[in-house]
Amino acid sequence: MRLLRWNIPLRLGRHFLGRQLTVTKGIVIAVFLSVASLLCLSFYVSSFNVHSVRHLPPQPTVKCTVSSDLLRNLHSRLASSSHSNYTASLRFQNKVLVMVETQYSLRGQDVIMLLEANHIDYKLELAGKSLPALTRAGKGKFGVIVFEKLDSYLMMDKWNRDLLDKYCRDYNVGIMAFTRTDTALVNENVHGFPLAMHTQLSLQNYRVNAQSDILRITRAREVARTLPGDDWTVFVPNHPTYRAISYANIHRTTDSDDLDDTAAEVTQDPTTRRASKEIEYIVAVQDLGLFDGVQRVFFGNDFKFWLHRILFLDSLSYLSHGKFSVPLQRFILIDVDDIFVGGQGLRLHVDDVQAMLTSQKKIRDTVKGFRFNIGYSGKYFHHGTPEEDRGDDALIANRAHFDWFPHMWRHLQPHKFDNVSLLETEMLMNYNFAQKFDIAVNSSYAVAPHHSGVYPVHEQLYEAWKRIWGVKVTSTEEYPHLRPARYRRGFIHRGIKVLPRQTCGLFTHTILLDHYPGGRERLDTSIRGGELFQTVINNPISVFMTHMSNYGNDRLALYTFESLLKFLQCWTNLQFQWLPPLQLAQVYFDMYPEEEDPVWGNPCNDKRHKEIWSESKNCERLPQFLVIGPQKTGTTALYTFLAMHPAVTSNFNSPTTFEEVQFFNGRNYYRGLDWYMNFFPGPVEGSPSPVLFEKSANYFDSEPAPYRAHVLLPHANLICILAHPAKRAYSWYQHMRFHTDKVALSYSFYDVISANEDAPKVLRELRHRCLNPGLYVQHLERWLTYYKPKQLLILDGDRLKSDPIAVMDKVQMFLRLEPYFDYSIRLKYNPKKGFYCQVLNEHHTKCLGRSKGRVYPPMNPKAEQYLQAYYKRYNIALSKLLSRLGQAVPGWLQDELRTVE
């Protein structure tokens, strides 16, 4: 038949071409070929246009029974449970101790990932070693102890085991452990406990005990029919201290009856019983502490079974008496990006819009007040087929039923606009589109296409957003990095709150369920306890990104979210609510106020960030080393000497802080990365790139500076100068007097440094500013928390003043500067000034400003004696630290230690 179809036009062609060609025949041939081409094209397009044949939307298959009485009584039951938080009477801190076999253990990493995702602090320790210090200042350091392997706890040496159990009893701290073994054991006694276990089992029909006090997030109404793996452990208790958290049946094998008989003989727990000729075995067990005073939870497997993740969070809450409880409230926001953006054949029809409205109503039964949040680029309105254009009209006609937020007019990436006026023009066109069709423009929320300009920050975007749209909230997946998702955080910049955005596996190209990457099974796994389910579990606020194409075609997004919310309702006690973005942002930062301050990373260290960063910006405008201080130790002299080197370039001067940028330590940090980079010259084509540096002496004793500097400049070298701390403090006091500080002028130096808690606040603040930078060892240890010792060079302030040529040779060697610069011909001692100055020519030198080298009255002996005693223990600790680091001990410190008795 196929050959016959193709032979017909061939025969007709021969019939006409075989005779004399006339005009009429030519026209007939042309018409015939045109019709044939159209038929072929129609067949071709229909074969590849997924929307030409409407797929039946898949229906959610998650089913469970949710009792209205259960939901009504949920809050009162949870409020009266043993999870109640009586923080005032708890004697331990907010940290979990995690004991792992190795730092790379997969199960231990799973525990850590779950703690990190839920913002729970922890300390990682290797099992088998001596225990870390468990107490500090009369309080316990840890609220729960987690062992990734039960045997690591059971087989501890007697000294450590007794110490740990006593700590748990004294501070009311619980223990969790997971068991999984490669050895098949039957009725094996758990070492030291009236508890037996069977191992290496294949289980089915997992059920949570509705009577368990552990349950908080977990709802015990359903049965998980299939369980992964054949390496499960079940427990058989022999003491009333044990209570079942969950049960399961064993897959029937030839040895199953013998195992069931053994269990029936030894068990004393009435909840482990025969049912329909099968025994329900305990898979997760709670130890009430009746046997030895310590409460515990043991799991018969790890996190490869999804339900154990939420039971772990419940156990963590219970054992910490609510201190590690995550909230039960969950806020859900679903963004529908690019509602008008898409090729013909992929866009929404009228019935798709109606389906969104119907689904929105269904979801509202679970998520209080829910509305889809629709993002638009007005340029693409009415760019589809006639049927799709009617879909656009249906969206506008139902605009009041949705929330709306703007993208760019042409869906262009904002970081490609270096001119803020062009950005504003683009936004204004979208604004006018919204007004034309009566779309609300006061949501205060906007999303940049492809997250461009939100992070890494494009300042022009923030400025244009505020001017045109009055934006106060946005969201991104990119802060601080796209992956891993558990690290995503929020921040506030230029008054705009940035919320972390989550993905649900539905992207622009994810159109049909049958074409979902990995197939329907993978999506259903994500929904039914997998990644998408855990995203909601671990994030009190979830801002999901979806796209228009997920709502047309077979309406994959509607299937996904209806199924997800139903499954969450089946298995959890979570309560869901929708809030508009502005209110949602307020809730988020009330919950996580520590995230308000941004942390600026280096975009060039992340391939994805570099792609959405302006081409006009360049990481070569970041310094390779920092002079970090402290003040009054010679940092300005070092800055001047470094700037003389032909291969080195300093930052541009600041109009307010002169040669110092003072970025990492104070309010300037909130001006953003662009502000900082503008202090450094860009690369010049055809010229070698200079070695850039900046000097800000108040970085040294700043609390946030080391972390902030390391996030942006992890490979930078650091130089600090240490001078006699007492002389440094006195010099700072005189500096304040010279600059007419009222407090310094009103009090003597001794009054300042000896001010006690009863002294006026301003006096205590000046004392702190004078003395704190001299606690050198404390500040160096803070910097060494983030930077490696080989990145740090410590200079002697006295020697920099007396022999700068030798010191600068040492600096050149440390920084590996080329070419070598001979400071001996460029520096000359000025007896009048009392220090070295820069040689300009044979007859002229250039010295530091008038404020440098100033001679002060001698320090009061009483003040000198006070400071010697004050800094004594810090100086001793400093000498030990410097020796450990292989750094030279300054001459002034050696002299000081000689006088120590």
Q: Which residues are identified as catalytic?
A: 632
Nearest to 559 by CA among 384, 352, 375: 352
Question: What whole-number distance in Å separates Cα of residue 333 and Cα of residue 501?
Answer: 10
Q: Is 853 annotated as a binding residue?
A: yes
CA dihedral 181, 184, 187, 192 (to 10 degrees): -30
Phi, psi angle pair for 783, to nearest 5°: -65, -35
Question: What whole-number distance in Å separates Cα of residue 414 and Cα of residue 453?
Answer: 6
DSSP 375: E
- Burial status of residue 852 (CB atoms within 10 A of its CB: 0-12, 13-18, 19 or more): middle
Asked if 322 and 85 touch (Cβ cutoff 8 Å), the reply is yes
Task: State the distance between the two ends of the chain, measured CA to CA, in whole angstroms.
Answer: 110
What are the tokens at 807? 């010191």
474's enclosing H/E stretch is: strand 473-476
Does 714 sit behind a cis peptide bond, omega within 30 degrees of 0 on the bond before it?
no
DSSP 257-319: HHHHHHHHHH---TTS-EETTEE-EEEEEEE-STTTS--EEEESS-TTSTHHHHHHHHHHHHH
Question: In which residue are the tokens 């249906």 written?
Answer: 394
Question: In which residue are the tokens 């909601």 written?
Answer: 536
Q: Is 731 annotated as a binding residue?
A: yes
In terms of phi and psi (left: phi > 0; alpha: psi -120 to 50; beta: otherwise), the region of 634 is: left
Q: How does strand 274-275 pair with strand 278-279?
A: antiparallel
Question: What whole-number distance in Å separates Cα of residue 801 and Cα of residue 163?
Answer: 55
What are the tokens at 818? 């080329």
The type of residue at 328 is: L
Q: Is 371 annotated as a binding residue?
A: no
DSSP 735-770: HHHHTT-HHHHHS-HHHHHT--TTS-HHHHHHHHHH
Q: Is 852 annotated as a binding residue?
A: yes
Q: Which residues contact 134 (CB under 8 A, 6 or more apart)?
A: 140, 141, 142, 163, 164, 167
Asked if 100 and 125 touch (Cβ cutoff 8 Å), the reply is yes
Question: What whole-number distance in Å separates Cα of residue 446 and Cα of residue 405?
Answer: 5
Question: What whole-number distance in Å separates Cα of residue 749 and Cα of residue 741?
Answer: 13
Q: Is 206 annotated as a binding residue?
A: no
Annotated binding site for 3'-phosphoadenylyl sulfate: 731, 836, 852-856
Which residues are annotated as part of the binding site?
Answer: 731, 836, 852-856
